[in-house]
Structure 1
Amino acid sequence: MASIITMNHENQQATTIPIQFDIESNQIQEANENIIFDYAKRAQWLRAAVLGANDGLLSTASLMMGVSAVRHDVKSMILSGIVGLVAGACSMAIGEFVSVYSQYDIEMSQIKREIMKNGNIEELERKKRNLPSPAKAAAASASAFAVGAVVPLLAAAFIKNYLVRLIVVVVAVSLALIGFGGLSAIMGRAPMVKSTVRVLVGGWLAMVVTFGLTKAVGSTGLN
């Protein structure tokens, strides 16, 4: 709280008028900035989760389509999907863990250099808590991949007819791609239709190419 003094010229009396600095506004602005920063961090994690699920969906579906090009039984298709889910989730987890840990080490080194200058140990602990967790990042990445990979597996699990199974898998994957493409567009503030179509066409292309190339290799007698 601050004040200014005004002079009443009629009675020569000084009047004190309190003035409140815009402290509350500054505090509100800082709070809003923190909220925006936290929202941005959550948005990054959400976007990474959507992209991870999309990878799991497309990688597993393409693998299953490739195997089904040379093996028409449901067991081979499901088994290939399970292998793709496990291998992909492990790969995503390890890759994310190594990547985030490298970032963690770099930021920790920078923080320690700053702390050595001012000697504020409490600041070190506070900044350390704000760093990303490699273990959490790995778990989130693996989980997102697995969620996407489950879609084609569930679509193919209970259908014995070969052609019907392929159609159901393609339809289920297409619907999931539309959903993931829409979410990515919303989070990235991109055009909804354009982004969704791009993701959908890319997914179809991946499945068709995998199916066609595997079919061509299988026709050589290697299957």
Structure 2
Amino acid sequence: MSDEKQVNEHTRSLVVTRLSWLRAGVLGANDGLISTAGLVVGVAAASADIQDITTAGIAGLTAGAISMALGEYVSVSTQRDTETALIAKKRSLLKAHPDEGKEWIASFLRERGVSAKTASLVIEEFRDGEVLRALIRHGFGINEQEIANPWVAAGSSLLSFSFGAALPVIAMLLSPTDLRIQVTFIGVLIGLALTGGLSAYLGQSSKRSAVIRLLVGGALAMATTYGIGQLLGTTAF
């Protein structure tokens, strides 16, 4: 593999990884927006006491952010451990039987229409370590350069959730008493429209569909908790 190709491969891996984290961050912000907005709207519907609303909002933001971070850390750690163990196993097998790795790659190429002669020439050009990278990438869909860091994943989830959750809390605190719920409702919908559009852009899907789904879901969540707050006259969260 040429040095230029290695640079291009590394660049592509970095772009894919960053886009993946950015999209996960957008989704985390959506979760923070919807869950915390539903919480503070429900409390505001039951009580006009700003202290109750503030306590509920901050508690919801804190608990949600920690839960998101912990869940992401555990999930990514498990994935990372599995991928690392698989790579170590394949590295050990290749060290004991180096020709089997090259034969697998040659077979892989032949199955995709490459002639046996060309496949043999290709694998002879492989440097040390490239056989392992080719095996784990094409055999298991793993790229060593793209293995996620659980601490980065946890920190990203914590920050993105907190950022999203902060919007409805701030809207409630800064709005006039008689307009708290309305201002928060509108602010959250605007936030969801922005994050929904960004998420669709990153995923190269329909922005309109993504935005509509989020707006409907967010409005339904806030309307439901508002109704519960009005009905019970107290918070059940």
Whole-angstrom CA distance in 2 between matches of 1:128 and 1:28: 19
Task: State the partner residue of 1:181.
Answer: 196
Task: State the partner residue of 1:109.
Answer: 85
Higher helix share: 2
TM-score (ref. length: structure 2): 0.73
Q: Is the Cα contact below 8 Å between 1:182 and 1:196 reproduced in 2?
A: yes
Task: State the partner residue of 1:35.
Answer: 11
Task: State the partner residue of 1:87.
Answer: 63
Q: Deviations over 1:151-175 (max 9, x none)?
A: 11111113341x3111111111111
Task: State the partner residue of 1:138.
Answer: 154
Deviation, structure 1 residue 75: 1.6
Amino acid at match of 1:36: R
TM-score (ref. length: structure 1): 0.78
Q: Is the Cα contact below 8 Å between 1:73 and 1:160 reproduced in 2?
A: no
Q: Deviations over 1:92-151 (max 9, x none)?
A: 01100110111011111101101212349x96xx98775311111111111110000111
5 Å-filtered alignment, 1:1-223, equals 28=4, 31-119=7-95, 130-161=146-177, 163-218=178-233
Point out which structure has higher relative CO (alpha carbons under 8 A, 6+ apart): 2
- 1:132 aligns to what SS in structure 2? coil
Higher strand share: 1
Whole-angstrom CA distance in 2 between matches of 1:156 and 1:70: 14
Looking at CA atoms only, which structure, 1 or 2, has the larger radius of gyration?
1
Q: Is the Cα contact below 8 Å between 2:47 and 2:233 reproduced in 1?
A: no
Q: Is the Cα contact below 8 Å between 1:74 and 1:160 reproduced in 2?
A: no
Whole-angstrom CA distance in 1 between matches of 2:39 and 2:73: 25
Amino acid at match of 1:171: I
Deviation, structure 1 residue 36: 2.8
Deviation, structure 1 residue 216: 2.2
Count of residue pairs the alignment pairs up: 193
Deviation, structure 1 residue 35: 2.8
Q: Is the Cα contact below 8 Å between 2:13 and 2:146 reproduced in 1?
A: no
- Percent of aligned pairs with the same amino acid: 38
Q: Deviations over 1:159-216 (max 9, x none)?
A: 341x311111111111111110110111111122221121111110110011112322
Q: Could you list the runs of 5+ residues in structure 1 that have no partner in the other structure?
A: 1-22
Amino acid at match of 1:69: A
CA separation of 1:201/1:130 partners in 2, compared to 1, >3 Å: closer, same or farther? Answer: closer
Q: Could you list the runs of 5+ residues in structure 2 that have no partner in the other structure?
A: 97-127, 134-142
Q: Deviations over 1:38-87 (max 9, x none)?
A: 22221111000000011011111100011112111222112111000000
CA separation of 1:115/1:186 partners in 2, compared to 1, >3 Å: closer, same or farther? Answer: same
Task: State the partner residue of 2:120.
Answer: none
